[in-house]
Amino acid sequence: MSLWMILPVSLPVLTITGIWVVLYNQSCEEELYLQSGPSLCCTLDNVPLISKCGTLPPESCFFSLICSTGSFMVMVIVLLRYAHVIEKHQNCVLNTASLCTGWICGAGLIMVGNFQVDNAKILHYVGAGIAFPTSMLFVCLQSALTYRLAKTQGEYNLAHLRLCMTLLAFVALVLSGVFFCQESFVLQHASAIFEWVFCIIIMLFYGTFAFEFSGMSSDTMVVLARGGSLGLAGREHKMDALGGPGLHSQPHPHQPESMSML
């Protein structure tokens, strides 16, 4: 069992816990015991969206740190997943597309964390417009890739789990976007709830990569070092380890029947 499996598990643990801590410690102009009514939880100007967790210092600093760290971890996980698929199987369009969407999602997450909505609204919404759709596209591609590469019953069960999480995330994202455009207090609050549900599901989806990362070997690093290919020596080594014929051990050609008669 490889220690790399700790990486995808630590991503949802650190990000979900960190954002909730920032949410419950966000700064307010008024003391907590003086707050009353809907202003304690949410109004149209202070909806408890994830973007509102770090609008004022020092919580904004922690929010930027969490998003930047999470973005880096996402990029590393996506890159290792890309190399691991090449190592165990072969490269394909789904794998390459997942790498691109995962890295674009990480770039959008950096913008979301470092440009707070109350200070740089346009850049913040641009980052959110990049991060949310690409993260949804990433989990869709990974679910399809899991089904394509599945061979054992356990791998099919993992594919079913990822498919269910993808469907739930899609429903949450659509409802959050629809309710966000409304002026109703109740619908704005519902939009915030679905946004939290979407982000939590996406983070838990990354955590499921621990199953593949538990079998990661040094060959994965070889794939990264060679720029996305295992290489001739690495494939010969894997063939020898599996007991199959290598590239240098060609079978004896079968003599034609006419030559035998001669």
Condensed to tens digits (0 to 9), the pLDDT of residues 72-114 reads: 999 999 999 999 999 888 889 999 999 999 999 999 999 999 9
Provide the 10 A C-beta neighbour count for residue 79.
15
Mean pLDDT over each residue of the chain, to the nearest integer: 81
Residue pLDDT, tens place only, 105-141:
999 999 999 998 888 889 999 999 999 999 999 999 9
- 163 domain residue, yes or no: yes
The two three-digit tokens of residue 18, written as one number = 């960190």
pLDDT for the residue 46: 56
State which residues form the domain around 121: 7-28+41-228
Q: Determine which helix (DSSP H) or strand (DSSP E) holds 170, and give its type and residue range.
A: helix 153-180
CA gap 4, 10 in Å, rounded = 10
Number of domains in the chain: 1
CA gap 219, 88 in Å, rounded = 9
The two three-digit tokens of residue 243, written as one number = 């007991």
Residue pLDDT, tens place only, 135-187:
999 999 999 999 999 999 999 999 999 999 999 999 999 999 999 888 887 88
- 151 domain residue, yes or no: yes
- Which amino acid appears at position 202 of this protein? I
pTM (2 decimals)? 0.81
- 253 domain residue, yes or no: no
The two three-digit tokens of residue 6, written as one number = 């700790």
Is 8's pLDDT higher than 50?
yes
- 197 domain residue, yes or no: yes
Using alpha carbons only, how large is the chain's radius of gyration in Å? 24
- 252 domain residue, yes or no: no
Question: Among 96, 200, 94, which Cα is nearest to 147's?
Answer: 94
- 134 domain residue, yes or no: yes
- 176 domain residue, yes or no: yes
